[in-house]
Chains A and B, each alone.
Chain A
């Protein structure tokens, strides 16, 4: 763990793996909910870091956090969200080819994977989901699409994600869902908030 001061009121904690980020993020939430963290405006996990923004004394907080014993995350920790997906994405065949399986086997592989929202970014409610083993990581498309439909289930690198709204995007699209990923009037507004566990089931509009 490495702690880096960011300006006058933020602290960036750098870790070695996505698992360590998830474990520290969960520990930070536990301590914040218990009132044991002190004031922090934003708690932002990312690929290998957690940012604490809006804190009083980032250097002192960094010293403190570096001394913590952070327990590894258990599989069952965090709320579980199940999302029904139609495997009708235009890149389904390409992803199957990269995985060395038939397109019909993709739903089973994705469905057997326990995903976790590592962090959000790109757009409100766009969660970066980890959980795919390294052999199933696929590259981005050479040419990004100018418009990816809302609800597209997509893969790129170590991540899976669902586009909350139509936007440009370079990820490989394998399916689509009617689930509402983002609703500013809902609490929480994002279906995929950091720490949420996600399972994809095969199913369509009925």
Chain B
């Protein structure tokens, strides 16, 4: 077994796979890679099964040293990639010679990068997943300098040829289809109508739990009182007392006490949300 050495952990780099859905009733968030398409692509590029654990970086990349030769691919937020100081391709499988350092640089656009290693990361799984969940404290800790990441044996699939893969660019405006309910009736009709032409932006307080918004106008409650905590789904748009929507991402709590005005369907829209930098305009589009 080979182990990658973390040289520079980056602002927030975590191990992610498809997460641990199915344990919400025990209070366990689903977790998992935020940009599911970029994560899947990184694994495909190195010939891994689609659920192999990879690294998710945040804005400023990561640096790793490989004691044995391996193959890696970097996807998600476009960024410079270097091996032993020499520029190599982003979004394609690249060979890392034994002892070389892989440097994943700062994102040129977007937020989250994915670094897949041939064989996948084989940190100990918890409830069937290797994902780091910072909120629930499950899975491996976030990367720190000097940490060793065990890499599994390569699977039977070959490393595919260096095709050109279509990768969506990070959004200049985040379009989020929203299916109203279950608690849209907690808000005034006028403020709901205003949601479709709001001037909301991505808040810098966003994280893996949720994409927070700022700007406005805020949603206005049509009724007073508190909602008893209820189960939350991925993509739920929760509205705290300040009226500014929060889009729940993979680390969202399993229950919540603020009303959910609607749900953004998991898939491309939430993948884009994972790449939207603070300040990006957010527009909700009515979906059925």
A→B interface (CB under 8 Å): 4-10, 12, 41-51, 53-54, 119-126, 165, 184, 188-190, 193-194
Contact = CB atoms under 8 A, between A and B. Distances in A.
Interface in B10-55: 21-28
Given A7-B235, A43-B25, A184 B230 contact: no
Given A6-B236, A6-B260, A193-B25, 8 more contacts: A7-B236, A8-B179, A42-B23, A46-B231, A51-B24, A51-B230, A51-B233, A124-B23
B166 interface: no
A5 B181 contact: yes
User: Does more than half of chain A's interface fall in helix, strand or loop, or is it mixed?
Assistant: loop
Contacts of B181: 4-7
Given A4-B181, A46-B255, A190-B27, A123 B136 contact: yes
10 contacts: A6-B236, A41-B22, A51-B230, A53-B24, A54-B21, A120-B25, A124-B23, A126-B27, A184-B127, A188-B26
Contacts, number: 109
A10 B264 CA distance: 12
B254 to A, nearest CB: 6
Contacts of A9: 233
Contacts of A43: 25
Between B21, B26, B137, B228, the greatest number of chain A beta carbons within 10 A of the residue's beta carbon is seen for B26
A47 to B, nearest CB: 3
B228 A6 contact: no
A183 to B, nearest CB: 11
Contacts of B137: 123-124, 165
Nearest to B127: A184
A124 B233 contact: no
Interface residues of B, number: 33
Contacts of B182: 4-6, 12
B138 interface: yes
Contact of B28 (A6, A47, A51, A124): A124
User: Does more than half of chain B's interface fall in helix, strand or loop, or is it mixed?
Assistant: loop
Interface in B230-278: 230-233, 235-236, 253-255, 260, 262-265
Contacts of A50: 231
B21 A121 contact: no
Between B23, B254, B260, B265, the greatest number of chain A beta carbons within 10 A of the residue's beta carbon is seen for B254
A6 B263 contact: yes
Contacts of A126: 27
Contacts of A47: 228-230
Between A6, A47, A119, the greatest number of chain B beta carbons within 10 A of the residue's beta carbon is seen for A6
B126 interface: yes
Contacts of A188: 26
A49 B126 CA distance: 28
Contact of B230 (A42, A48, A120): A48
Nearest to A42: B24
B231 A12 contact: yes
A132 B235 CA distance: 35
B40 to A, nearest CB: 19
B233 A53 contact: yes
Contacts of B254: 44, 120-121
B20 to A, nearest CB: 10
Contacts of A120: 25-27, 254
A10 B229 contact: no
A91 B29 CA distance: 30
Interface string B160-180: 000000000000000000010
A139 to B, nearest CB: 14
Contacts of A125: 26-27
Nearest to B235: A7
Contacts of B236: 6-7
Interface in B128-157: 136-138
B24 A49 contact: no
A112 B231 CA distance: 31
Contacts of A45: 25, 231
A119 B27 CA distance: 8
Contacts of B232: 51
A10 B136 contact: no
B263 A46 contact: no
